[in-house]
Amino acid sequence: MAGLLTLGARAMFAQQAALQTVSQNIANANTPGYSRQAVVLTTSAGQYTGAGFFGKGVDVQTVVRSHNEFLTKEAATSKSTASADATRAEQLARMEKVFLPGTDGLGYAASQFLNAMMDVTSRPSDPSARQVALGRAAELATRFSNAGQQLTDLQSGVVSDLKASVTVVNEIVKQIAAVNDQVSRTQGSGHTPNDLLDQRDRLVAQLGEYVAVTTLPADDGTLGVFIGGGQRLVLGSQATTLQVTPDPYDATRARLSMNEGGRLRSLDDSVLTGGSMTALLRFQNTDLQDARNLLGQLAAAIGTRVNDQNALGLDLSNPPGKGAQIFNVATPRVLAAASNLRDDAGRFTSGVQATIVNAGQLQASSYKLTANDAGGYQLTRLSDGLVRSVNEGDTVDGFRINFTPAAPTAGESFLIEPVANAAVEMRRVLDNPNGIAAASPVTASMSVSNTGTLTAESIYAVNPSFDASRAPMTIEFGAADPANPANRLYTLTLADGSVINGTWSANQPIGNQPALGIDLGFELRTNGVPREGDRISIDPTVYTATNNGNAKAFLDIQNEAFIGREVLADGTITAGSSINDTYAAAMSEVGARVQSATYLSGVSTSVAADAEANRAGQAGVNLDEEAARLMQFQQAYQAAAKVLQTAQSLFDEVLQIAAR
């Protein structure tokens, strides 16, 4: 009877433990990260008797959780990737709003300004037409400035989000270290602390949403957590905190650093994978920087081209002078690395200065200048990684490099941003309508004795090579070109008596034919066909109020491919793009990135959902199964109670017999 009582008691305890575990599962069915638990039962060793081995019941060995290490890691990794893709897609969607299409876009504003010059062409002395043109110029500058400011605000938002994320990450890291400490304390008990392990797995998964991590279990039950290809974040019960630090070149941008005992070590975003913080860093360093350069290239090219053309004409001042600047064009920004040498006063001992020489050759890129040990300098174009050796005074991609107050020494580096700030700093600086130089510095007139149909369509200066002292000039047409009878030879006589020979052809301007060695700095465009002996006189403009030659030049800027020209290694210059084509290409570039990021976000989110479903299928709680087990263990408990009841009855019967 003692054995029967022992068997019943053990059976009841085992089924009670099973019922308690099932109840725990049911209670936490909807708890995030909870793993289903189960009681492990083992048979007690039988007792030998002369009649054989009789069982001694059941033992509760331990309680285990339903956990698959591979599925747990896969779910955490895919969730980290999905978080990174979703964050980048969200940031790019915000950036896309800067590049507005249609009438709200920058291309339309530029067209409106240049079209306003058409009214000036029709009425060069009308103050109202000039004021409208200045109003359109102000609107164009405002749109560029607003777009640049929006990108600046996005940058500030990235830094703010990074700081908030780092605060959360540091708290999670401390909690993982605390759980590690608790787990290690239970190591000698022979049982696994299931709830603590679930909590740690959940914390690691949460950490992965901010930055991808790798884990390595230790013999004492703790879990090492690493980021950035092996940088220690948690080791045992020791936690390393992260910190947002300024970029070594630009303090308005952020970097991620590890604080190791008060010593900050910067983490390159190239070694970070997954997580929202990684996506924010790469958006800041790539997408946002590219957008600033795309806008800046357009702003600098337009502003400089308009200013240059206005300077080639004559305004309405008395006496007439060359046109003033219409737009402010930002000077290139050069940022020294924080590690560069300084003097006792904290000033950098060396410096680099960049000056725009040809705005049409400016590229949508930033550059890194590095001094090497051999005394040379390397310039890396960050948009495509092109590396070139440069010296002081060299002109690269439309800007010239000079060293001041001293040349950089070995190991020093500088970040050169020729156009990054051009959009945000663009503004209209001309307030006087008379400052619009609508008049051409020279006027063309046809000889009354001409017999051909040739007429002057327009004449205006096109580059700084124009020299007004060369006027008056005379163009006289001669015989037909023997090589092409449709063309006609001509001689152009300058004021000093020197003669330039050329060939006239339809749609070919006179005065600016670099391919033929003719560069007088102006273009005379004609209609009709000349005959032999016809003459054109080119004289300095006298009546600027009625001359619209230079205003016509503004109309040609609309379709001129002057943006983004590049000087190749062999000296040839590639064709550029027009204003509308450049802006359309920028919108397409940003739109393609948004579309790609949105697609990748959708895919990675789906993959993460599938991975979590697989993990939950292994570790999650199925209420139907738990309800069935609840009934099973309830019946087993009742049966064990029946055993005890039977043993009690037999014991009572024995007592009654003994009492007789």
pLDDT in tens, 593-607: 999 999 999 999 999
Distance, C-alpha 219 to centroid of its chain: 43
DSSP state for residue 439 in the 8-state scheme: B
26 domain residue, yes or no: yes
Are the CB atoms for 564 and 582 separated by under 8 Å?
A: yes
pLDDT recorded at residue 196: 92
Q: Based on the domain organization, do 549 and 458 belong to the same domain?
A: yes
Domain count of the fold of the chain: 2
Q: Based on the domain organization, do 464 and 542 belong to the same domain?
A: yes
Decide: residue 575, CB within 10 A, 0-12 exposed, 13-18 middle, 19+ buried: exposed
Cis peptide before 433 (omega within 30 of 0): no
SS3 per-residue string spanning 322-377: ECCCCECCCCCEEEECCCCCECCCCCECCCEEEEECCHHHCCCCCEEEEECCCCCE
- Token couple for 123: 């009425």
Least Cα distance to 33 among 187, 172, 206 occurs for: 206
Identify the band that residue 56 occupies on the pLDDT scale cut at 50, 70 and 90. confident
Cis peptide before 332 (omega within 30 of 0): no
Q: Based on the domain organization, do 448 and 532 belong to the same domain?
A: yes
pLDDT above 70 as % of the chain: 99
Q: Based on the domain organization, do 446 and 560 belong to the same domain?
A: yes
Residues 6+ apart with CB under 8 A from 123: 129
143 domain residue, yes or no: no
Q: Based on the domain organization, do 441 and 546 belong to the same domain?
A: yes
Are the CB atoms for 220 and 185 separated by under 8 Å?
A: no
405 domain residue, yes or no: no
652 domain residue, yes or no: yes
- Name residue, tokens 């946002």: 288
Q: Based on the domain organization, do 454 and 561 belong to the same domain?
A: yes
- End position of a domain, from candidates 522, 550, 579: 579
- End position of a domain, from candidates 579, 603, 637: 579
Radius of gyration of the chain (CA): 41
CA distance linking residue 286 with residue 278, whole number of Å:
12
Q: Based on the domain organization, do 445 and 562 belong to the same domain?
A: yes
Q: Based on the domain organization, do 639 and 561 belong to the same domain?
A: no
Residue 459's φ and ψ, nearest 5 degrees, are: -150, 130
545 domain residue, yes or no: yes
Q: Based on the domain organization, do 481 and 553 belong to the same domain?
A: yes
632 domain residue, yes or no: yes
Q: What is the DSSP string of 275-336?
A: SHHHHHHHIIIIIIHHHHHHHHHHHHHHHHHHHHHHHTSB-SSSS--BPPP-B--PPPEEEE
Higher local confidence (pLDDT), 483 or 97:
97
- Token couple for 85: 């893709």
CA distance linking residue 52 with residue 31, whole number of Å:
49
- End position of a domain, from candidates 549, 579, 609: 579
pLDDT recorded at residue 47: 75
What residue spans of 55-192 are helical by DSSP H?
Answer: 69-96, 106-122, 127-185
83 domain residue, yes or no: no
pLDDT in tens, 445-485: 999 999 999 999 899 999 888 888 888 999 999 999 888 88
- Token couple for 72: 């747990």
pLDDT in tens, 242-263: 999 999 999 999 999 998 888 8
pLDDT in tens, 553-572: 998 898 899 999 998 888 88
Residues 6+ apart with CB under 8 A from 520: 465, 466, 467, 470, 492, 500, 511, 512
Least Cα distance to 237 among 219, 251, 252, 224 occurs for: 224
Provide the residue range defining the domain that includes 553: 436-566+573-579
533 domain residue, yes or no: yes
CA distance linking residue 194 with residue 25, whole number of Å:
12
SS3 per-residue string spanning 7-33: HHHHHHHHHHHHHHHHHHHHHCCCCCC
Are the CB atoms for 443 and 538 separated by under 8 Å?
A: yes
Identify the band that residue 33 occupies on the pLDDT scale cut at 50, 70 and 90. confident
Q: Based on the domain organization, do 558 and 644 belong to the same domain?
A: no
Predicted TM-score (pTM) of the model is 0.87
